Amino acid sequence: MTAPPGAAEAALDRMFAGMGRGAGLGLAVSGGGDSMALLALAAERAPADVSLRAVSVDHGLRPEARDELRLVADLAARLGLPHAVVHWSEAARGNLQAAAREARYRLIANWARDCGVGSVALAHTMDDQAETILLRLARGSGVDGLAGMVASREAMGLRWLRPFLGVARTDLRAALSARGIDWAEDPSNSDPRFHRVRARQALAALAPLGIDAAGLAATAGRMQRARDALEAQTWQALAEHARDDLGTVIVDRTALALGPEIRDRLFAHLLMELTGAPHRPRLAALQRWIDSATARGGTLAGLRLHPEAAGLRLYREARAVAGLRTRVGKTWDGRWRAVPPAPAGAAEIGALGPEGLQHLSRQAAAGLHPHWRETGLSRAALAAQPAIWQGGRLLAAPTALWPAGWAFDVRPAAAPGPRGPNRIE
């Protein structure tokens, strides 16, 4: 007789039941107990028509991480699953943990898009949820912060799944032990210099008062219901006050008179969609940025807010994408894909930049195409727009009135509800 599934197995069954047939699922695995359980149990519970792939991020911060990744590779091989390692090669600035977390999401998202994987599962547990709520209480978070992590959300063009938010960390380790599977313990998980470790210790101290992981996770669930109601109002406001325009967004000035909660959510949504940021900015920084709309505008997280006659235009800051190049066929800046008129060879997508604008001005002066000013976009806005390059030669600039047979599929930022790409040619 088959034993009934435990909490972790049941959680995965619910996750798979919510996925479409023939879906591809990425599994983010670090080598720790939670993610190794995700890898092992997902391989057991996945329907036959769901394709699984494992991915790990090497941050290059700890020498022992290589041994941990070998542990992941060995288990993936035993389970017959493909496993990839993506590397973080950027120099971290400011908060190292925050920078590593942001890089982890971005690298995994790029890997998933390149593999054609539409969903990625993460192994956060009920304990992680409770620690998150405590940390956000300490920061004075509102509804969104106290809603904690959600089981499913769309960001960076992917669906991020957290099936274990109702599962205790001890249950996952018990499942691994029962299967004879080893895992790695990150020494930073017991280092009291880190806030999350102190939150974990505080939870143990609060248990006699009845404040435990299950109770805090339940509170997060109630906050999520409140947040969903606010988000519905935000989508309505987006439909009424914002519109896409050649890859930028124009927001009506009337949006500034919305209730503060909905106004802040509207601008936070647009910032995340236009920059690919996985998380909302800090509230104080977001509000300062919105307030800049009544003066000369401002920049936050690589996104420019600029007052114009038509309204408030949001567009990427040229410096944020100046060095970004992507081969045609892959996604540029999290939103843009090129549609070539013929096989593209070594062509790349890169920012139009000042060199591209100069080239277009010369072409327009020769009468070969309309001047880029006829787009209605400023020089600063167009400099951050994508163009097609081959080495140092500009091949096409569809958003600047020189498509040369090329087109861009761009994921809209302002359209509410399920969104497919817009075509710009």
How do residues 345-366 score in pLDDT, each as one tens digit? 789 999 999 999 999 999 999 9
Q: 19 or 386, which is more confident? A: 386
Q: Which fold has domain 7-217?
A: Rossmann fold (3.40.50)
Residue 98 is predicted with a pLDDT of 73
pLDDT tens for each residue of 45-54: 999 999 999 9
Q: What are the start-end ranges of the E strands in 89-146? A: 119-121
320 against 154, higher pLDDT: 320
Q: What value does the mean pLDDT take over residues 31-58?
A: 95
Tell me if 293 sits within 8 A of 264, measured CB to CB. Answer: no
Mean pLDDT (the chain, rounded): 90
Is the pLDDT at 334 greater than 90? The verdict is: no
Q: What pTM did the predictor assign?
A: 0.72
Backbone angles phi, psi at 211, to 5 degrees: -95, 105
Q: Which amino acid is at 394?
A: L
For the segment 170-187, the average pLDDT, to the nearest whole number, is 92
Q: What is the pLDDT of residues 13-25, one digit of tens each?
A: 999 999 877 789 9
Model pLDDT for residues 216-267, shown as the tens digit of each residue:
999 999 999 999 999 999 999 999 999 999 999 999 999 999 999 999 999 9
Per-residue pLDDT band at 88 (split at 50, 70, 90): confident
Q: From edge to edge, which strands make up the β-sheet containing 348-351?
A: 325-327, 348-351, 386-390, 393-396
* Residue 294 vs residue 120, higher pLDDT: 120
* Chain-centroid distance, C-alpha 370: 36
- Cα separation, 70 vs 78, in Å, equals 12
Residue 247 burial by CB count (10 A; 0-12/13-18/19+): exposed, middle or buried? buried
Cα distance between residue 350 and residue 177, in whole Å: 49
Predicted pLDDT of residue 416: 56
From the list 71, 68, 73, the residue with the least C-alpha distance to 84 is 73
Residues above pLDDT 70, as percent of the chain: 94
Smallest CA-to-CA distance from 123 within 204, 27, 2 is with: 27
Any long-range contacts for 215-219 (C-beta under 8 Å, 24+ apart)?
216/129, 216/130, 216/133, 216/134, 217/126, 217/129, 217/130, 217/133, 217/148, 217/165, 217/166, 219/133, 219/146
Give the start-to-end residue ranges of the domains of the chain: 7-217, 246-316, 319-424
**Alpha-carbon distance 359 to 86, whole Å?**
36
Task: For strands 83-87 and 51-58, give the pairing.
Answer: parallel
Lowest mean pLDDT among 188-192, 231-235, 297-301, 365-369: 188-192
Is the pLDDT at 270 greater than 90, yes or no? yes
Look at 65-79, 188-202, 268-282, 394-408 and tell me which has the smallest mean pLDDT: 188-202
| Per-residue confidence (pLDDT) for residue 76, from 0 to 100 | 97
In this structure, what token pair is assigned to residue 320? 């944020």
> The tokens 């727009």 sit on which residue?
385
pLDDT score at 60: 66
Q: What is the mean pLDDT of residues 135-150?
A: 89
Residue 103, pLDDT score: 84
Q: Could you report how far apart the first and last alpha carbons of the chain are, in Å?
A: 61
Under the banding of pLDDT at 50, 70 and 90, the label for residue 1 is: very low
pLDDT band (50, 70, 90) for residue 63: confident
Q: Is the pLDDT of residue 2 over 50?
A: no
Contact 126, 167 (CB under 8 A): yes
Strands (E), 273-347: 298-300, 303-308, 311-316, 325-327, 336-339
Average pLDDT of 136-165?
90
Question: Is pLDDT above 50 for 417?
Answer: no
Summarize the confidence of residues 171-175 as an average pLDDT.
96
* Residue partners of 248: CB distance under 8 A and separation at least 6: 313, 314, 315, 377, 381
Place of tokens 């023939």: 22
